């Protein structure tokens, strides 16, 4: 079993950290909010007061943070992971950040003798809790192989996509599809509701056919129950789509559908729904169509 550090204990990070402990790994945790740290310490983790303090004590140090500047600060800033660097340390980032930032961090940490893996994850809060995440990895092969026992505790699939930054490119591609699926689901549900057809029966009718997808399996039951809590927060989906479009500009890639999807999420954020689940993009369509998913069907 390994000594593992985890920094960033939000919805996803806390669940991943718990699965690492359940697998028998010794865990050191750090987070800006101390309530979740207290919970994990009560479950067997050890508290650390800075990223540097985490790094000094472990063989692997994970981060799971909101955006590129956050990861860069924790990895390379004052009292950061780089200040706790030691031989054999492997840095693994579960965040979704710009590929260029992942490469910059990997280069700087390599100078300090630390191998880096950008290991973006997909599968939402359900996948994080159940240990069924998909893990998209960029970085050196030897570090990846050493990390596989940890990935086994976190997910159901892990792929080394390429060199540093490749995991984040794969995650960008993932988010193109996820965003489009959430929008398509919203349009389908509102179409059924507005046309006087029971959306729940519509979903039952189509989910075994060509429209079958993870989103159609997981999100409608939550929406039908009136549950629009995250999950994966809408403002994070919006942020991820911004990374996709920044990457598209870097490489000269036309992504008109993704640009429209991002604008729909921007509208959702303007509605004041930034903290809701990304599937709650249906709220934008409800406003446009003048109908709510919970309303009785029209005769």
CATH architecture of the domain formed by 3-163: 3-Layer(aba) Sandwich (3.40)
Rounded Cα gap, residues 125 and 236, in angstroms: 13
Rounded Cα gap, residues 294 and 287, in angstroms: 13
pTM above 0.85, yes or no: yes
CB 138 within 8 A of CB 161: yes
Domain ranges of the chain: 3-163, 170-289
Give the helix ranges, DSSP H, for 211-299: 214-224, 234-251, 256-270, 282-289
Supply the residues annotated as catalytic.
Answer: 171
Q: What is the pLDDT of residue 298?
A: 64
Rounded Cα gap, residues 64 and 121, in angstroms: 10
Q: What is the pLDDT of residue 299?
A: 55
Q: Omega into 231 within 30° of 0, i.e. cis?
A: yes
- Residue range 170-289, CATH number: 1.10.1040.10
The strand pairing partners of 92, in sequence order, are 62, 117
34-89: pLDDT as tens digits? 999 999 999 999 999 999 999 999 999 999 999 999 999 999 999 999 999 999 99
Residue ranges in the chain whose pLDDT is less than 70: 298-299
222 half-sphere exposure, CB direction, 13 A CA radius? 21
Q: What is the pLDDT of residue 297?
A: 76
């Amino acid at each position: 079993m390994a000594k593992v550090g985890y920094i960033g204990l939000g919805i996803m990070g806390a669940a991943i950290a718990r699965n690492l402990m359940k697998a028998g790994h010794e865990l050191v945790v750090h987070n800006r909010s101390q309530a979740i740290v207290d919970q994990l310490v009560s479950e067997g983790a050890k508290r650390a007061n800075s990223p540097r303090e985490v790094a000094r004590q472990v063989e692997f140090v994970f981060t799971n943070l909101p955006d590129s500047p956050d990861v860069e600060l924790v990895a390379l800033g004052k009292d950061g992971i780089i200040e706790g660097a030691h031989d054999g340390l492997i840095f693994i980032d579960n965040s979704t950040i710009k590929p260029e930032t992942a490469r910059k961090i990997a280069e700087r940490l390599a100078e300090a003798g630390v191998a880096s893996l950008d290991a973006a994850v997909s599968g939402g809060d359900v996948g994080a809790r159940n240990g069924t995440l998909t893990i998209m990895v960029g970085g050196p092969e030897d570090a990846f192989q050493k990390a596989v026992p940890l990935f086994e505790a976190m997910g159901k699939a892990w792929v080394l996509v390429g060199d540093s930054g490749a995991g984040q490119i794969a995650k960008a591609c993932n988010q193109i599809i996820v965003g489009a699926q959430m929008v398509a689901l919203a349009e389908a549900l509102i179409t059924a509701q507005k046309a006087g057809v029971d959306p729940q029966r519509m979903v039952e009718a189509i989910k075994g056919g060509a429209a079958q997808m993870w989103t159609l399996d997981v999100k409608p039951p939550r929406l039908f129950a009136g549950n629009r809590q995250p999950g994966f927060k809408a403002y994070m989906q919006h942020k991820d789509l911004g990374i996709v479009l920044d990457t598209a500009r870097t490489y000269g890639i036309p992504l008109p559908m993704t640009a429209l999807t991002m604008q729909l999420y921007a509208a959702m954020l303007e509605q004041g729904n930034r903290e809701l689940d990304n599937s709650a993009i249906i709220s934008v369509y409800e406003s446009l169509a003048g109908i709510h998913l919970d309303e009785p069907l029209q005769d």
